[in-house]
Chains A and B, each alone.
Chain A
Amino acid sequence: MKKKKCVAMLLAGGQGSRLKALTTTVAKPAVSFGGKYRIIDFPLSNCTNSGIDTVGVLTQYQPLVLNEYIGTGESWDLDRKNGGAHVLAPYQAKKGARWYEGTANAIYQNIQFLNKYDSEHVLILSGDHIYKMDYSRMLAQHTETDADITIAVIDVPIEEASRFGIMSYDKNFRIFDFAEKPKEPKSNHASMGVYLFKKDVLVRMLEEDDADPDSEKDFGKNIIPKMLAENMRVFAYQFDGYWKDVGTLKSLWEANMDLLGVDPVFSLYDGTWKIYSGNDAYPPALLLTKDGSVTNSIVTEGDIISGRVVNSVIGEGVTIGEGAVVENSVVFSGSVIGAGAKLSYAIIDENVRVGENCVLGDAKSSPDKITLVGRNCEIPDGTTIASGSITEAE
């Protein structure tokens, strides 16, 4: 087997509890986005487009939907003879079964996978972000600087900096200071959770970390500070494109809205960097509105729309009945919005049935008060649901 230059490990086990009912039965990377995508499509497509053809996907929490979705990796062109996408679940080793204890421990438990491919470098990714990034450029800088680790950074507004891992680097991009979620951030260079290691360095650091009983087994809290303390070659790769952490209902809603408009904040239409996805076999959308009122919105194949859709993102195979109004909302695949229903600032998960003349949220609400309806819910005709509330199936 020919040796790989770089193998990616995608941490996809996150529970994503701040997404509330959206992640009750699915892992966060499997949450829907942008009409036909799931969050994990972005890192997986980035890998394919960057020439990385071997990706270990580390699952843990609620893996069913995710495992089925990844399948052979065919959707992202990652069904390969040598390499491809591999789902790596926690398993029972000789010493007993262990759940992944932290980001570093998750990779440590799959060290056999890394040794099997024995690539020169290992790229660590998370399944929580919406962005388009060419990892091959990061790899080029990483090899040029002979870094032990390169950390992708993005500049965030300083008032938000204490939510992230914050670092300071010199003019050669060498990092001299790193603090995980600091109360008083020293810069606005935030870690994107994208780490590129020399493989041998990674294996050594993980082994040492595992032997340390005081470690929380986390890259940001333990591994990176230790590498800095040992004066290893720790570099930053400055990224300046669109990058959105979709960890909350508000940020998920905002990221969907960022797709709208003639000149959107984040475009999926530039053709040079395709985002691949599962692609179900739906016919094109049918727009049967009387007044032609689907405006500033995204509509996906399989939809049958007879109502009004404004400033919204509609997933695959959604039916919106006559007289229904969907405004400032995100509707995931397979849901049915009954005739006459009104939705404002709502996120409707997959396969929900909203009965006729229901009122969900109100037009004066805001992205801070999203009305959420969980997967497979049935909302009876005529129900009113206050804005900001969460409804889940039993």
Chain B
Amino acid sequence: MKTLGIIFSNIHERDIPELTKVRTLASVPYGGRYRLIDFVLSNMVNSGITNIGIIAKYNYQSLMDHVQSGKSWGLARKNGGLTILPPFNDVSGGGVFNNRFEAIKSVGGFIRHNEADYVVMADCDIVCNLDLAPAIAAHEKNHADITMIYRKKNVDSSDKYRMVIETDDSGKVIRSSMNDGSSGEKKVYTDFMIITRRTLLYIIDHSDQWGINSFSRDILSNIREYNIYGYEMDGYYAAVNSLNDYYKHSMELLNPEVVRELFYKGGAEIYTKVRDSAPAKFTDTSFVRDSMIADGCIIEGEVENSIIFRGCHIAKGAKVTNSIIMQDARIDAGSTLNCVIMDKAAHVLENRLLSGHPTHPYYIEKEAEI
């Protein structure tokens, strides 16, 4: 069975305006050396999917720069490989797509000119190490039109825009609706979907006639019309849907159990663009504990409970606690940062004192100088 991957690079980006002002959600830096898209892209590759389209919308220069030919994920191939699908693809006019279904319609040609049996669709906001192969096998066995990948969890405010489903013993979806805000353990849809390609093309071809323009409202809720199954995802999972989520889930990476599960589970690795930085260097004056430090850093100061991305310089006498410092940032001597998210290549000059709070991290924008 052949599977085509489709990644939506920008859905949910309105939820994190700070980090997506200068980039698409897909290229938001995460975990010291990664971009958010690395997780879904690596999951697909590790599940045997080698033909992947990324739907771009705005601000996709940083995304193109990151994925390039797809070489870092083994996706620079003669057959399939990686394709960036720019917006304005829709011959019917009307400009850029507004939602997931319009986006899929706009790349109908790409899906049509493909021999895959199934299409896996995913967003970039999910950080996990997921083997999709068993889910695709279950989809095939169930002769499903659609398989919705869900998680069992106690719903909270971060799930407010997600669908919840109920399934019978066979896994068939018997109820699906938008989350109504009531509490308790529910099966929450992750926006990872497997859909039979012929079914998808059939829907696209008839969408105008049938008035379909939303996956959640017109397709996933229509369980009488479509044969929809659920598939449970377990293991570590983080949905990055706000700056607070970003901060909270990033900090979970300081737990070695989380690192082992997310980056090593079953031998499946998470790939990213290679940067060829030298290893991190610590000097006589450095003091580091409970932190994640990427290659290319020079640490002369004090770092505690923080994530330091590639190529950062923490000067002697600087103190960084409970913070996330993105790539190529510099913190000069004598400055103190607490609960700060510092974007790429920002620079904190000497003797500054900056602090947020764990529930409200202080954000410093890209290339800012303080």
- Which residues of A pack against B, CB within 8 Å? 34-36, 74, 259-262, 268-269, 274-277, 279, 281-301, 304, 309, 313-314
Contacts and interface: CB of A to CB of B under 8 A. Distances in A.
A350 B328 CA distance: 30
18 contacts: A36-B279, A74-B71, A275-B276, A279-B276, A283-B262, A283-B292, A285-B293, A286-B254, A286-B291, A287-B292, A288-B254, A292-B286, A293-B287, A295-B284, A295-B286, A298-B279, A300-B279, A300-B280
Interface in B263-313: 263, 269-272, 274, 276, 278-296, 298, 300, 302, 304, 307-310
Contact of B293 (A290, A295, A299): A299
A291 B289 CA distance: 7
B368 interface: no
B302 A292 contact: yes
Given A74-B71, A281-B269, 11 more contacts: A36-B278, A36-B279, A260-B281, A261-B284, A281-B271, A284-B307, A286-B254, A292-B304, A294-B282, A295-B286, A301-B295
A34 B279 contact: yes
A-B pairs, top 9 by smallest CB distance, nearest first, are A284-B32, A35-B279, A268-B278, A284-B294, A281-B269, A292-B287, A300-B279, A292-B289, A283-B263
Interface in B233-281: 253-254, 256, 259, 262-263, 269-272, 274, 276, 278-281
Contact of A287 (B33, B276, B290, B310): B290
B70 to A, nearest CB: 13
A301 B270 CA distance: 13
Nearest to B272: A281
Contacts of B361: none
A300 B298 CA distance: 12
Nearest to A36: B279
Contacts of A34: 278-279
A298 B280 contact: yes
Given A35-B279, A294-B282, A299-B282, A279 B288 contact: no
Contacts of A283: 31-33, 253, 259, 262-263, 270, 292
A301 B289 contact: no
A287 B254 CA distance: 9
A304 B263 contact: no
B295 A300 contact: yes
Contact of A284 (B31, B276, B285, B286): B31
* Chain A interface, DSSP helix/strand/loop, else mixed: loop
Contacts of A289: 288-289
Contacts of A294: 282, 286, 288
- Which residue, B259, B272, B295, B310, has most C-beta atoms of chain A within 10 A? B295
Contacts of B296: 269
A35 B71 CA distance: 24
Contacts of A269: 278, 281, 296, 298
Contacts of A274: 276
B255 to A, nearest CB: 9
Contacts of B289: 287-292
- Which residue, A34, A35, A283, A297, has most C-beta atoms of chain B within 10 A? A283
Nearest to B292: A284
A275 to B, nearest CB: 7
Contacts of B272: 281
Given A294-B286, A294-B288, A286 B280 contact: no
A301 B294 contact: yes
A261 B304 contact: no
B302 A282 contact: no
A285 B280 contact: yes
B284 A296 contact: yes
- Which residue, A74, A299, A309, A314, has most C-beta atoms of chain B within 10 A? A299
A36 to B, nearest CB: 5
Contacts of A285: 280, 292-294
A165 to B, nearest CB: 31
A284 B279 contact: no
Contacts of B280: 285, 298-300
A292 B310 CA distance: 20
Given A283-B270, A298-B281, A262 B300 contact: yes
Contacts of A290: 289
A282 B295 CA distance: 10
Contacts of A314: 279
- Which residue, B270, B276, B284, B287, has most C-beta atoms of chain A within 10 A? B276
- Which residue, B32, B269, B280, has most C-beta atoms of chain A within 10 A? B280
B370 to A, nearest CB: 24
Contact of A275 (B278, B292, B308): B278
Contacts of B262: 283
Contacts of A288: 254, 256, 289-290
B35 to A, nearest CB: 14
Interface string B9-47: 000000000000000000000011100000000000000
A5 B270 CA distance: 40
B189 to A, nearest CB: 28
Contacts of A299: 279-280, 282, 293
A211 B59 CA distance: 66
A6 B149 CA distance: 56
Contacts of B287: 292-293
A262 B283 CA distance: 6
Nearest to B285: A295
Contacts of A292: 286-289, 302, 304
